[in-house]
């Protein structure tokens, strides 16, 4: 039991540390990629190639003044950033990022490269990921600001509109794999990744992931042109930073989940399993950034119409296709 707990604790510390580091450097990567796409340099002053810019930004935000609006609900106002950030990290607990490892022979028995493998991993992901919107709604309500409240209401409506289509897009994968365990889903893709029979489901999932992480062109909850930053307009210092950390952590979790469900997870020839997982995840994160630099923001009525009138019928059609393909595929 002690050995099991020690291994689990080491996994948690390593994964949490890597996630924090990736979140920090996603800010640098986004500014660099957007700069390249817009023929600019991006951050290039702090450290070689601007690599120390995330550290400088973190120190700057730590030194900023903590401001709490006088008429805000103080307890909820202070708690909302943590409610938004925690689910983004907790959801990564069931995502496998490799097969097994002995750490180059240092361990007597191979250890699974996942914090914990549960037989309802897909349901766990959906249950945890859907909690993040509560932080946004509570932030908008507790700030006692009309723009923040509108941003929180938009986030809740957006979550309801796109969560349904995202769930239906994953049902096809569950049909093909015959399991809700993410490890079993990856193992079921030993011959072909599920993106081959489920290319439509992958497209629907990716669109919904963009919407649920509040990324452009679905960034209506924080639309600067209309809501002056929306739900986090009254936040400063590290509370402001926590909302941005939550957004990037959700991006990483969404990319890792798409890799696991549709792109074969860690599976691939020649390279180590972890390398394949990271390459696929980084490619999807690049697409997240690329879309932000390319597409304009939807109008709110367009956002709702796209979710209910386009994605939902397509998700239902994809479900029918998956039901027809599943017996032959399995």
Helix, coil or strand: residue 173: helix
Establish if 81 belongs to a structural domain: yes
Could you report the per-residue pLDDT of 302-318, keeping only the tens digit for each? 989 999 999 999 999 99
Supply the range of the domain harboring residue 97: 69-329
The Cα 171–Cα 187 span in angstroms is: 17
> Is residue 92 within a helix (H) or strand (E), and if so which, with residue range?
none
Number of domains in the chain: 1
pLDDT of 250 above 70 = yes
C-beta neighbour count of 131 within 10 angstroms: 15
Nearest alpha carbon to residue 67 among 78, 75, 83, 53: 78
In this structure, are residues 300 and 149 in contact, taking their beta carbons and an 8 Å threshold?
no
pLDDT at 216: 82
pLDDT at 104: 66
Q: Kindly report the CA angle at 29 between 215 and 284, in degrees rounded to 5?
A: 55
Establish if 270 belongs to a structural domain: yes
pLDDT of 286 above 90 = yes
pLDDT at 251: 93
Nearest alpha carbon to residue 260 among 163, 169, 171, 187: 187
Establish if 3 belongs to a structural domain: no
Could you report the per-residue pLDDT of 103-123, keeping only the tens digit for each? 766 677 778 888 888 889 999
> To the nearest whole percent, how much of the chain has pLDDT over 90?
47
Could you report the per-residue pLDDT of 252-269, keeping only the tens digit for each? 999 999 999 999 999 988
Helix, coil or strand: residue 101: strand
Establish if 310 belongs to a structural domain: yes
pLDDT at 51: 92
pLDDT at 105: 65
Establish if 18 belongs to a structural domain: no
Segment 150-167 mean pLDDT: 90
Q: What is the DSSP letter of 191?
A: S
Place of tokens 């993410």: 182
Establish if 154 belongs to a structural domain: yes
The structure tokens listed for 16 are 């949490």
pLDDT at 288: 94
Please state which of the ranges 121-135, 156-170, 224-238 shows the lowest mean pLDDT: 224-238
pLDDT at 271: 87
> To the nearest whole percent, how much of the chain has pLDDT over 70?
99
Helices (H), the chain: 2-37, 53-62, 74-90, 121-129, 132-142, 146-177, 182-187, 199-212, 224-227, 237-262, 273-294, 300-305, 312-329
Report the chain's C-alpha Rg in angstroms.
20
In this structure, are residues 58 and 146 in contact, taking their beta carbons and an 8 Å threshold?
no
pLDDT at 326: 87
Task: Give burial (CB, 10 Å; 0-12/13-18/19+) of 250.
Answer: buried
N- to C-terminal Cα distance for the chain? 37
C-beta neighbour count of 105 within 10 angstroms: 6
Establish if 158 belongs to a structural domain: yes
Establish if 11 belongs to a structural domain: no
The structure tokens listed for 61 are 């935000």
Mean pLDDT of the chain: 89
pLDDT at 110: 79
| Those residues with Cβ within 8 angstroms of residue 95's Cβ, 6 or more apart along the chain or in another chain | 114, 125, 182, 253, 256, 257, 260
Segment 222-242 mean pLDDT: 84
pLDDT at 311: 93
């Amino acid at each position: 039991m002690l050995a099991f707990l020690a291994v689990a604790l080491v996994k948690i510390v390593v994964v949490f540390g890597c996630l924090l580091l990736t979140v920090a450097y996603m800010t640098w990567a986004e500014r660099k990629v957007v700069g390249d796409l817009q023929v600019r340099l991006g951050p290039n002053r702090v450290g070689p190639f601007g690599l120390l810019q995330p550290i400088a930004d973190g120190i700057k935000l730590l030194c900023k003044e903590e401001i709490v609006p006088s008429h805000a609900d103080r307890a909820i106002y202070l708690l909302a950033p943590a409610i938004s950030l925690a689910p983004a990290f907790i959801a990564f607990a069931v995502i496998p990022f490799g097969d097994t490892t002995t750490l180059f022979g240092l361990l007597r028995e191979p250890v699974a490269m996942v914090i914990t493998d549960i037989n309802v991993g897909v349901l766990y992901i959906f249950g945890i990921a859907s909690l993040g919107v509560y932080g946004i709604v509570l932030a908008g309500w507790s700030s006692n600001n009309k723009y923040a409240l509108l941003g929180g209401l938009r986030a809740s409506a957006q979550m309801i509109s796109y969560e349904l289509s995202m769930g239906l897009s994953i049902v096809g994968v569950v049909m093909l794999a015959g399991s809700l365990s993410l490890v079993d889903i990856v193992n079921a893709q030993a011959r072909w990744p599920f993106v081959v029979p489920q290319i439509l489901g992958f497209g629907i999932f990716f669109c919904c992931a963009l919407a649920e992480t509040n990324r452009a062109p679905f960034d209506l909850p924080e639309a600067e042109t209309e809501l002056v930053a929306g739900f986090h307009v009254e936040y400063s210092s590290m509370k402001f930073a926590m909302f941005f950390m939550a957004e990037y952590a959700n991006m990483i979790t969404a990319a890792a989940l798409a890799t696991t469900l549709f792109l074969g997870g860690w599976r691939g020839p020649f390279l180590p399993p972890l390398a394949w997982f990271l390459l696929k995840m980084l490619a999807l994160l690049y697409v997240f950034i690329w879309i932000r630099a390319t597409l304009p923001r939807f109008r709110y009525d367009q956002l709702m119409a796209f979710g209910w009138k386009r994605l939902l019928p397509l998700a239902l059609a994809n479900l029918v296709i998956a039901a027809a393909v599943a017996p032959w595929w399995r």
